[in-house]
Structure 1
Amino acid sequence: MSDAKRISWGKPRKPTDADRDALRDDLVAKARAVRADGWSPHRTVWTAGQVSAVAYLLGDADVLAEFEESEGTVLSRYAAELFGFHGGRKDIEAGLTATQSWFDTVRKTLGS
């Protein structure tokens, strides 16, 4: 057995309401930019995860397919972003209901 010490990554970070609000505001701004400008000026600047989240918010199945994403992959990715590692895992086990509800709220903020 090795004498190496076990790595401790510390306590997992749990996002706050302020973190979730900032994420909401960022995604809403990005979705509004796509509505105003189309995808071209943004898709190469934003990460694939951001593009997929905005496409999910806007109901853009073509962009989701292009990035090989689905509702499930987007929600699974954002569960931990919204609720931390442990909270995200619990939400995945519960069927992503809290994450889906959060995205529904963001969609309402975005408006039609």
Structure 2
Amino acid sequence: MNPNRPTTPWLPPGTRGIDQVMRDSDALTLLTQRLRASQARLDALRPLLPPALRTQVQAGPLDESGWTLLASSQAAAAKLRYMVPAFEAHLRVQGYDGPPVRLKLMPPRPR
């Protein structure tokens, strides 16, 4: 048994845990980094969001062409649309140079 590898009784011998797979996969590592960067941007913007909108916005995909904010409703998206220039300026001041901010609606939740 490898002393550096924690034992996980629920995995068959020779099976790698999700944390090991994540570390070994360049694609998953990049995805994880982008998810964290996207959430960090949203965290930087939270002080600018009116309290009523804070629960209606989620961090979305971040890629070379833009960063997406996901709005829970058309009304929230309309309000956020007016704030995009302020968001982009605030992100630049916070050191987040990069692609523009996009707005999209969250997919409806299954019932």
TM-score normalized by the length of structure 2 = 0.25
Structure of larger gyration radius: 2
Name whichever structure is richer in strand by fraction.
2
Please give the TM-score of this superposition, normalised by the length of structure 1: 0.25
- Higher relative CO (Cα under 8 Å, sequence separation at least 6) belongs to 1
Q: Which has the higher helix share?
A: 1
